[in-house]
Amino acid sequence: MKRLFLAAALTFSVSAQEIVKDIPYVEKGHARQVLDIYSKPNNEKLPVVFWIHGGGWQVGDKSQIDLKPKWFVDKGFVFVSTNYRLLPEVDMGTLIRDVAKSLGWVTKKIANYGGDPKRILVGGHSAGAQLAAILCTDERYLKAEGADLSCLIGCLPVDGDTYDIPAIIETAEVRRKVHGQPQAKFGHREKFGNDPVLHRDFSAVNHISAGKNIPPFLILHVSNHPDTSAQAWRLNDVLKRSGVRSTAFGAKDTNHSKLNDDLGLPNDPATAALDDFVKSILKH
């Protein structure tokens, strides 16, 4: 019964915004292999936002999107929010491939919902920021789904700390050791496979080079958070050195959750930076 309910999908409207919920992106797949689509009715070939929720790769849901669907739909986008299977039920590679399958589904089906499959902005918060960054830099994931990086017009990672995974592992573990704290039982080292080769392979900074159709980046981070700021600067630097257009914006007077929650609010500085970014990528 639950499977039939998910496959059927629910459609309703709120303030002239059409929402289609729980669309499977894998035929007869897992209950979490579903996505939601937000749009205004009767539009065609609109740019698309593909959003990936956070939660440490262990929790979270596609419904945790706050003001973003309305903000983007009002800007003329179709907004997609996806779920994916979580740790420890699956390993990190499988988890990333789930998100890639969802994005691959969007490239094939979003035209049926008024979206342009050749103009997709990929974004995510926290764990979702790492997932967004790896999908926009490591072309293997989209190629496996019959798509490529050329369909992407932008990447919006929000306050992630894992664009360079070996660096955050060393930072966190040295900090714990210096302060006499026990090491985490399921920290970044374990989440990403406890293998240095995997740690490097799941790091977006190791897949950036010129001539790959990597889209422009807006990297949002909390300005006074040492880990997410350092990771944002690192990612921004590698992108720029490879000729990829990138901006790192450090938001003040906020925190990890609030930065994400406030996107779409009037007079929010990070939203203003996002507005400028959206205008710039739609011009190209």
- How does pLDDT run along the chain (284 residues), one tens digit per residue? 222 223 334 444 445 689 999 999 999 999 999 999 999 998 899 999 999 999 999 999 999 999 999 999 999 999 999 999 999 999 999 999 999 999 999 999 999 999 999 999 999 999 999 999 999 999 999 999 999 999 999 999 999 999 999 999 999 999 999 999 999 999 999 999 999 999 999 999 999 999 999 999 999 999 999 999 999 999 999 999 999 999 999 999 999 999 999 999 999 999 999 999 999 999 97
**138 and 159 share a domain?**
yes
Closest CA to 36 of 59, 56, 53: 53
CA distance 49 to 230: 26
Q: Where are the alpha helices (DSSP H) in the chain?
A: 2-8, 68-74, 92-109, 127-135, 140-143, 165-178, 188-191, 196-201, 226-241, 256-261, 269-283
**230 and 135 share a domain?**
yes
Q: Note the pLDDT of residue 16.
A: 67
**133 and 181 share a domain?**
no
Which amino acid, 165? I
Q: 16: exposed, middle or buried (C-beta count within 10 Å: 0-12, 13-18, 19+)? A: exposed
**169 and 277 share a domain?**
no
**18 and 126 share a domain?**
yes
Q: 91: exposed, middle or buried (C-beta count within 10 Å: 0-12, 13-18, 19+)? A: middle
CA distance 4 to 182: 46
**147 and 213 share a domain?**
yes
**156 and 174 share a domain?**
no
CATH code of the domain containing 227: 3.40.50.1820
Q: How many domains does the chain have?
A: 2
**153 and 18 share a domain?**
yes
**89 and 179 share a domain?**
no
Q: Who contacts 4 (Cβ-Cβ below 8 Å, separation ≥6)? A: none
**54 and 191 share a domain?**
no
Bridging pattern class, strands 46-52 and 78-82: parallel
Q: Note the pLDDT of residue 11.
A: 45
Q: Who contacts 253 (Cβ-Cβ below 8 Å, separation ≥6)? A: none
**152 and 247 share a domain?**
yes
- Domain with 251, as residue range(s), is 2-163+203-283
Report the C-alpha dihedral over residues 282, 276, 122, 257, rounded to 10 degrees: -160
How would you list the strands of the sheet with 217-222, edge to edge?
A: 10-14, 17-24, 34-39, 78-82, 46-52, 115-125, 152-158, 217-222, 246-251
Q: Note the pLDDT of residue 4.
A: 26
CA distance 28 to 86: 18
Q: 57: exposed, middle or buried (C-beta count within 10 Å: 0-12, 13-18, 19+)? A: buried
Last residue in a domain, options 197, 217, 243: 197
CA dihedral sign, ordered 195, 207, 83, 250:
positive
Q: Note the pLDDT of residue 49.
A: 98
